[in-house]
Structure 1
Amino acid sequence: MRTEGDFIKVNEWLMPLSWLYGVGVLVRNKLFDLGVLKQKSYSIPVISVGNITVGGSGKTPHVEYLVNLLKDRVKTAVLSRGYKRKSKGYILADRTVTMSDIGDEPFQMARKFDNVYVAVDRDRRNGINRLTGDSETSDVDVILLDDAFQHRYVKPGINILLVDYHRLIIYDKLLPAGRLREPMNGKARADMVIITKCPKDLKPMEFRVLTKAMDLYPYQDLFFTTIEYGELVKVWKTDSDNGGTMTNEQLKDMNVMLLTGIASPKQMVNDLSPLCKSITMMAFGDHHAFCRKDADRINEMFATMPLPRIIITTEKDAVRLEETDGLAEEVRNALYVQPICVRFMLGQEEDFNNKIISYVHKNSRNSILAKGKNDHKPKDSDNTGHRPGTISFRDN
């Protein structure tokens, strides 16, 4: 039987190092709280999506949810660090950019959303300044910061904290014993907290237990989301593929190799196991850069599996596999992507959407929603109090 927090493993023998790490994090956060280290707020709406746990909380599908919510209403930009990219500095995605230039997750979003700016910059302040100041992106209305909960030099208008149901921060420990980037009390900075990857069959009592366990402040909103899987899509399509998709009905007779380079593949194993004949797992580290040696291993393992067989991978793994040399033709023909999206539970979708749209409506510089309704444009500031151009749930 699954329970919340069931993927957590704590290495007790590393707790002394976690204590030292915690002291460093505490000092850094206190310097921001006291204003010694300066935060900057912006007149343009800035929404941050991040977590306290290292990897695997579902940031990308939640950012994509926000993109889908906003892209037809306002000019939207996504700003990411571009983890493990081979470039430096600010880069705006265009048709010539490669996965190596901007990283797998930004590349995935840039390819998926044509009318959205996707940029990478480790210095988020510089990235925001470039997006709002460069002529090619100066019409941007709202910026979504991907994985920026600990990037406190920027003060977002809405700070969204994601917490994996299977790795609840209330049960975890600081790095390196556990996987927390900072102490659990850091959740107080969030305006919204979303418990992600919830089982679809959660009972009302379980929602109440989770709500009490998270122990949020009155100014914070708590939401619950679950993962929805789309039809499998073939990575390398041919004319004979008839659309290149595979339904659950077709999948049930398949022997599946689940090929991943993500932080938490166990959820996918649990979800896909009932849908297919068997699963053979091949897991690499998060954001793994596949090489020729990896391709040889994949080829060898796939060749030993019984027929009929396919390979399922994630969207961000697929963009890296597409640049990998040495994959056998049989592997390429059998490789499918498992698209995922998020769905809000308890009928919370409308409430969440309204809060996001209302914030953007009230604070966007150029938004068609705000045109003629909000002529006063607040200025940037470096103070750490309530900032102009943002909405604070703490005051509502």
Structure 2
Amino acid sequence: MKILRYILLPVVPIYFLITWLRNKLYDLGLKKSVSYNFPVICVGNLSVGGTGKSPMIEYLISILKDEFKVATLSRGYKRKTEGFQLANKNSSAETIGDEPFQFYTKFNNDIYVGVDVDRQNGIQTLRNLEDSPEVILLDDAFQHRKVKAGFNILLTTYHNPYFNDMVLPTGNLREPKRGSKRADIIVVTKCPNDLNQAKKNAVINKIKAKGNQHVFFSSIMYSDVVISANSTKNINDLKSFCLVTGIANATPLVNFLNAKNLQFEHQNFSDHYNFTEKDILELNKKELIITTEKDFMRLKQYESLKETLFYLPIKVKIDDELKFNSLIKAFVKKH
């Protein structure tokens, strides 16, 4: 794959020009972008792959849901339905996608969870509900410029920041680095827990934030327990298990488990992987399976895994969270 990316290096200027021109047309108003008179917050990234969008959406839900009626709107990647779908008790990962299903499972009736490839239609449909949401969180919509969110949160990982990358197909950027200037907040995610101020300052200097932009750092906090459909286990009590992941980057999770000196084999699948009957037959042979919460949403439908399948919850910890929370709530209340 790496060799192929280098072979495709001559394509990079073409991709760069196309995405740059598209953004320029939106910036100049030559391509139409719809804005709204109520709070719409976009969470996204410049890079393909996992930067921690789902945990960030869940963090925003947690700080807003007690004061406001919140809705999330996602594309519903790899779902088997079309058009707008609103999560309900009959929903599954197949009908709305694994990440939206995770939001609905975790927060249930506290929020609305909608999916629609057409974000404009999705926003309008949510607002037309009888008890319409006051705040809409757009999941992975930074490049969806037909919608102009009132507030943009851009995520980039500490170990693979956008400022050290280039556009596709040789790099991982969906658009040129200058796209970061559209963000109101830039969050450097998946930081090591021992990150000191000097290292933070080095990153801030490379980001070169504008005067109206704020930079934050966040890390992943793993739970002490793993959870199944009907029980929990302390992670430190696990003897050996099979780790199953279908996410963009499983390295932080693997490193966390290795640091605990746990014994496990790792079956690593592609992001949003649709498990086959053959996969499930193989997993049925395992005495204990640990997976991510997102993968659990796709695997829990199999009755044969009910007793052996557990997931490890995670949450986001943000440095200076009081300031971060204050910025988010101030935007919502103002609009």
Question: Considering the TM-score relative to the shorter chain, is it more than 0.5?
Answer: yes
Find the aligned partners of 2:206 and 2:241 in 1 and give their Cα distance: 37
Amino acid at match of 2:272: H
Q: How many residues align?
A: 333
Give the aligned CA root-mean-square deviation in angstroms. Answer: 1.8
Q: Contact 1:231–1:245 (CA<8 Å) still a contact in 2?
A: no
Match of 1:124 among 119, 123, 128: 119
Q: 1:140-289 to 2 correspondence within 5 Å?
A: 140-237=133-230, 244-251=231-238, 254-289=239-274
Equivalent residue letter for 1:317: D
Cα distance per residue 1:184-222 (max 9 Å; x no partner)? 111011000000000001122111111111111111100
Alpha-carbon distance in structure 2 between the residues aligned to 1:92 and 1:35: 32
Q: Which SS does the other structure have where 1:11 is aligned?
A: helix
TM-score where L is the length of structure 1: 0.81
Point out 4+ residue stretches in structure 1 off by more than 4 angstroms. none
Q: State the secondary structure of the residue aligned to 1:268.
A: helix
Q: Give the drift of 1:337.
A: 0.4
284, 288, 291: which one aligns with 1:313: 291
Partner of 1:343: 317
In the alignment, residue 117 of structure 2 is paired with which amino acid?
Answer: R
CA contact (8 A) 2:245 2:295 kept: yes
Please name the residue that 1:298 is paired with: 283
Q: CA deviation at 1:9?
A: 10
Bigger-Rg structure (1/2)? 1
Cα distance in 2 for partners of 1:45, 1:10 equals 43
1:50 to 44, 47, 56: 44
**What is aligned with 1:391?**
none
Q: How does 1:77-96 map to 2 (within 5 A)?
A: 77-96=71-90
Q: Distance in 1 between matches of 2:281 and 2:15?
A: 39
Which structure 2 residue ranges, 5 or more long, are not aligned? none
* TM-score for the superposition, normalised by structure 2: 0.95
User: How far off its partner does 1:282 sit?
Assistant: 0.5
- Report if the CA contact (8 A) 2:224-2:236 is conserved: no
Change (3 A) 1:324 1:36: farther
Where do 5+ consecutive residues of structure 1 fail to align? 1-7, 238-243, 303-308, 364-396
Show CA shifts across 1:29-71 (max 9, x none).
1111111111111111000000111120000000000000000
Distance 1:314 1:168 in 2: 23
Give 2:8's match in structure 1, choosing from 4, 7, 14: 14
Deviation track 1:293-351 (CA, whole Å, cap 9, x = no partner) reads: 11233345x3xxxxxx63210111001012347x5xxx543321010000012xx1000
Instruction: Say if 1:339 and 1:62 are closer, same or farther in 2 by CA, change over 3 A.
Output: same
Aligned in 2, Cα 1:75/1:183: closer, same or farther, shift over 3 Å?
A: same
Q: Is the Cα–Cα contact under 8 Å of residues 18 and 174 in structure 1 kept in the other structure?
A: yes
Distance 1:235 1:22 in 2: 45
Residue 57 of structure 2 corresponds to residue 68 of structure 1: no
How far the C-alpha of 1:23 sits from its partner, in A, is: 1.8
| Identical amino acids, percent of aligned pairs | 43
State the structure with bigger RCO (CA 8 A, min sep 6), 1 or 2: 1
Kindly state the Cα deviation for residue 281 of structure 1 after the two structures are TM-superposed. 1.1
Counterpart among 31, 35, 46 of residue 37 in structure 1: 31
Query: Are 2:328 and 1:334 aligned?
Result: no
